[in-house]
Amino acid sequence: MKPYLKQSAIWGFVVLELIFFSVAGEFLSLSDKAFMDLDNMLLLFKQSAPIGIIALGMTVVMINGNIDLSVGAIFALCAIIMLDSMKWPIFAGLGDWVILVGWLLALATGMLLGLINGLIVWKTGVDAFIVTLGSMLGYRGLVFMYNGENPTSNLNWTMVDIAEADILGIETPTIVFVICTILVWLLMTRTVHGRNAYAIGDNREAAVNAGIRVGPHMVWNFVLIGFLAALSAVVFYSASGSVNPNDGTLYELWVITAVVLGGTKLTGGSGSVIATFGGVIAIQLLRKGLGHIGADTAMVNLVIGLILIAVLFLDRQLNRKGKEELRT
Amino acid sequence: MTDIPALRLQDIVKTFPGVRALDGVSFQVMPGEVHALLGENGAGKSTLMKVLGGIHQPDEGKIFIAEQPAVMKSPLDAKSKGVVFIHQELSLADELLAAENIYLGELPRKSFGRVDWKTLYEKSDAILARLKCSFDSRKLVGDLSIANKQMVEIARALTVDAKAVIFDEPTASLTDAEKVVLFDVINDLRSDGVGVVYISHRMDEIFTISDKISVLRDGSYRGSLVTVDTDEDEVTKLMIGRSLDSENPIVPAKKGPIALEVQGLSCGDLFQNVSFKVHEGEVVGFYGLVGAGRTEIAETLFGLRAPSAGKILLEGKEVKIASPIEAIAHGISLVPEDRKGQGLVLGMNCKDNMTLPQISDLTAGPFVSDGAEVAIFDQYRDRLQIKTPGWRQKVGNLSGGNQQKIVIGKWLSMAPKVLIVDEPTRGIDVGSKAEIHNLIRDLASQGYAVIVISSEMPEVLRVSDRVVAMFHGEIIREFTVDEVNEDNLVQAISGIRTTKVA
């Protein structure tokens, strides 16, 4: 039981949330609908997608021993590029193909911004926390330079249709999120790149001594998270069609919260993509659940904060190395 | 001297879930006695010390200080009762002064919490003088040598009226010359009537310094011996419960062609104008003080450092080695000195560590092939007799000897020509040492060119066909196995040049 609990503490937590909100909902909820209603759950997955897709990338970067604080800004900038580029005169006459161009430009922008982060981290040796703190401010600056305080809008109904299409009731954002989870999970568990990323995060020196090219692996992971931040923007703004320059602010913290809740270590070398998926779901459940029983947003934030600390404390208790640890 | 033990442990029992770590251990040290405590890794030494230091509370049993029962609540509490520890790993703050480190946590104070610097320096200097240290207490600890840092650590122990001082592997990072200074300090403590507990793996030290030897095995006390009446064999038997695996006698290697030749290699201030050759089927030992440049030569050959001058020739052809990747491609492997820090990824399992340098060649489609990896792991587990429950075992849970074999296996699987082993048995218990030494000899007889760097003279003498003595970044002398002995080796590494006997 205990080793199972250790590996999947987050799923236990998800189940607990489901039970709690289902039961509490019976007494406290103003609506007649059950909490675990199918539509409600499908909506939950869809709403998790924007943060979730980025969190997959953050898991990879954190396993690798780095962190990326600029994802919120990349998210916003890519959204602007996507919506605005579709109005550029050079693309006039492409018809609905302009949607594809917008998407590809947005994804390329995300990868480019990630590449810049990665190259700076690699070539300067400055800590990723500092580098991406800088690029977070810098990229956000670009967002405001683009269109000032004004929103950038472009509502294209074909695009909205694609973004809100569904297969058996499962909508595009959910499908993208799940497929990405599977692909990133395969990347991290089964490929050379994934294995080396774990090794670098766990013991960088040993990785260097084993002839692993540490720098390129790190850069690729920054490119990956840039790509995923852009993909998240593509999925979300294809439906909404309008981006404010402040969109995506604090996303980095929500993303990190989800990843850490899933058990990935800030120090690198350890973590799981599937557990991050669980972390994302757990946070969204908490938000929806608290809303369901009538708590307001301020309350939700307070509770999530407390639970984050509680879950990590529990994780520490379960995973303590014997009883050998020093009392501090 | 009195008959009252400075420190006495009686029937200490400590169990952890699933393990009886200490099973009724009794142990005592008299004032003015140096009592060596021996045991293999996992024998219970560290648990015993943690009980003594208040980190663990014993399930049963009592601790007496000068026959007064004592309960240790924490290391600080133990210290206030006169039981102090000198740890293997230095726990000093490099950015603080020696004096601040010595009184860390108990700085003398004036009103409003201000530090009483005058008293602090006076008291610290007095302790350093007692230890016959040449530096004063206003020096930044980060600027001190390892040996002097250790003195600061010892000084820290002497801020109280110590009844018993416990040295836990104090010489792990000291050179032979620095050990002599440490032993002087221990002798001074002894003549001051302090009880000294000395924990070490190294037999030669124990026989140099101790009065009595007590042995732990599998968590229980296996007896005490008076040092002058016993010998290494008897102690070893008590420790591992059997006689040591015999060391294979050195079969002079069948020298093959020259595998590696280094000509006039220099790297800044670290080493200068170093030239040597290593043949296939030969073990060349590098001996010298810490800081003599041995590890740095290895790092240069492995591409971790850029040489400032000189040539490296592999099988007669000059090569440039700019990174470990290139070194590996040329067939040079390095088993680094800090196994956990530089050699292993502790969070990964045995198999993953073993195949780390070559997984990009073990793919099936886009994915790493588990089967190919396990095949390699099995092959080297059998060949090196690595004891592990299976490849899924986290490498951090293995004993030091088996961890070292994983690192060696990792490189053998890359089919190297030159294998550099830096401190092959650091932190490995006596039972496994012989095994590693035999393994190194075997590798040479299989035709590998092996370089062994070691700070332990017996080890160098045991495994090498030739010994290179280094001092201050230079090769002082090269010995063949017939020429070398402890005396001329000590002379050489102290910088005394002797003309080579023709």
Q: DSSP states of B100-133 as a string?
A: HHHTTT---B-GGG-B-HHHHHHHHHHHHHHTT-
First-to-last alpha carbon distance for chain A, in angstroms, is 29
Of A192, A211, A323, the CB nearest to B324: A211
Q: What kind of architecture, by CATH, is found in domain B7-240?
A: 3-Layer(aba) Sandwich (3.40)
Q: How confident is the model at residue A3 (pLDDT cuts 50, 70, 90)?
A: low
Instruction: Count the helices and strands in chain A (H runs, E runs).
Output: 14, 4
CA distance B224 to B227: 9
Which whole number is the average pLDDT over A267-286? 92
Shortest alpha-carbon distance between residue A266 and chain B (Å):
14
C-alpha B42, offset from chain centre: 16
Nearest to B352 among A195, A208, A327 (CB): A195
Residue A322: per-residue pLDDT:
44
**Minimal CA separation from A204 to chain B, in Å:** 8
User: Does the pLDDT value for residue A317 go beyond 90?
Assistant: no
Cβ–Cβ gap B357/A210 under 8 Å: yes
3-state secondary structure of B418: strand
The H-or-E segment that residue B274 falls in is strand B271-279
Residue A6: per-residue pLDDT: 55
Question: Does any CB of chain B come closer than 8 Å to the CB of residue A265?
Answer: no
Mean pLDDT of B101-116: 86
Confidence at B396, pLDDT banded by 50, 70, 90: confident
Is some CB atom of chain B closer than 8 A to the CB atom of A202? yes
Q: Give the nearest chain A residue to B345 (CA atoms).
A: A203
Examine the pLDDT at B500 and tell me if it is beyond 70: no
Report residue A324 CA to chain centroid gap.
35
Domains B7-240 and B258-348+417-493 share a fold: yes
Write the pLDDT tens digit of every residue in A160-201: 888 888 888 889 999 999 999 999 999 999 999 999 999 999
- For residue B201, the model assigns a pLDDT of 73
Beta strand segments in A228-291, E: 242-243
pLDDT digits (tens, 9 = 90+) for B37-48: 887 766 788 788
Which chain A positions have a beta carbon within 8 Å of B22's beta carbon?
none
Separation in Å, CA of B89 to nearest CA in chain A: 14
Q: Does the pLDDT value for residue B217 go beyond 70?
A: yes
Chain B residue whose CA is closest to A187: B367
Question: With bands split at pLDDT 50, 70 and 90, how would you rate the model's confidence at B482?
Answer: confident
Residue in A closest to B349 by C-alpha: A199
- Helices A71-85 + A214-240 axis angle, to 10: 50
Q: Measured between CB atoms, does A204 come within 8 Å of chain B?
A: no
For range B273-298, the mean pLDDT: 90
Quote the CATH superfamily of domain B258-348+417-493: P-loop containing nucleotide triphosphate hydrolases (3.40.50.300)
Q: Mean pLDDT throughout B327-336? A: 94
Q: Do B341 and A203 touch (CB under 8 A)?
A: yes
Residue B29, pLDDT above cutoff 60: yes
Distance of residue A306 Cα from the nearest chain B Cα, in angstroms = 29
- Over residues B353-363, the mean pLDDT reads 91
Identify the top-confidence range among A29-33, B10-14, B495-499.
Answer: B10-14
CA distances for A309 relative to A305, B219, B314, angstroms: 7, 38, 56
Chain A residues close to B356, C-beta within 8 Å: 199, 206-207, 210, 212
**pLDDT digit string, tens, across residues A64-110:** 999 999 999 999 999 999 999 998 888 888 888 999 999 999 999 99
Residue of B nearest to A201 (CA): B345
pLDDT band for position A324 (50/70/90)?
A: very low
Instruction: Say if residue B259's pLDDT is above 90.
Output: yes
List the single range of A43-57, A282-296, B308-322 with lowest mean pLDDT: A282-296
Band the pLDDT of B296: cuts 50, 70, 90.
very high
Quick check: A323 and B348 CB within 8 A?
Answer: no
Among A177, A35, B65, B156, residue whose Cα is nearest residue A185: A177
- B277, burial (CB in 10 Å: exposed 0-12, middle 13-18, buried 19+): middle
Domain ranges of chain B: 7-240, 258-348+417-493
Q: Which domains does chain A have, with CATH numbers?
A: 35-316 (1.10.3470)
Q: What is the pLDDT of residue B317?
A: 92
> What are B454's strand-pairing partners?
B287
- How close A181 comes to chain B (CA, Å)? 17
Q: Give the confidence band of B472 by pLDDT, cuts at 50, 70, 90.
A: confident
Percent of chain B with pLDDT over 90: 30
Which positions ≥6 away from A57 have C-beta within 8 Å? A68, A71, A184, A221, A224, A225, A226, A227, A228, A229
Mean model confidence pLDDT for chain A: 89
Distance of CA A244 to the CA centre of its chain: 19
Residue B287's nearest CA partner among B484, B456, B434, B483 is B456
In angstroms, the CA B298 to CA B390 distance is 32
Residue A212 is predicted with a pLDDT of 92
Angle at CA of residue B331, ends B325 and B337, nearest 5°: 75
Checking if the pLDDT of A203 tops 80, the result is yes
Give the residue among B388, B279, B384, B260 at the shortest CA–CA distance from B333.
B260
Residue-averaged pLDDT of chain B:
86
Give A202's contacts in chain B (Cβ within 8 Å).
Answer: 345-348
| Tokens encoding A181 | 């989870």
Tell me the nearest-neighbour CA distance from B346 into chain A, angstroms: 7
Residues of chain B with Cβ-Cβ distance to A322 below 8 Å are 16
> So what's the pLDDT on residue B242?
64
Nearest-CA residue of chain A relative to B53? A326
CB B294 within 8 A of CB B476: no
Mean pLDDT on A210-226? 95
Task: Give me the pLDDT at residue A141, please.
Answer: 95
Classified as helix, coil or strand, B210 is coil
pLDDT, one tens digit per residue, over B173-182 is 677 777 888 8
Beta strands in A77-231 (DSSP E): 152-153, 166-167, 170-171
- Could you tell me which residue, B116 or B495, shows the higher pLDDT? B116
What pLDDT score was predicted for residue B86? 85
Contacts of A270 in chain B (CB under 8 A): 347
Q: Which residue has the higher pLDDT, A109 or A14?
A: A109
Q: Using an 8 Å CB-CB cutoff, list chain B residues near A206.
A: 341-345, 356
ipTM of the complex: 0.79
For the ranges A47-51, B67-71, B332-336, the lowest mean pLDDT is seen at B67-71
Q: Which residues are registered as beta bridge partners of B25?
A: B12
Q: Give the separation between CA B468 and CA B470, rounded to whole angstroms.
A: 6
What's the whole-number mean pLDDT along residues B363-384?
Answer: 90
Q: Residue B21's pLDDT is what?
A: 80
Tell me whether A65 touches chain B (CB under 8 Å): no
**Which residues in chain A are closer than 8 Å to B363, comparing Cβ atoms?**
191-192
The pLDDT score that the predictor gives to residue A323 is 44
Q: Which residues of B touch A (CB under 8 A)?
A: 16, 55-56, 74, 302, 304, 323-325, 327-328, 334, 336, 341-348, 352, 356-357, 359-360, 363, 366-368, 410
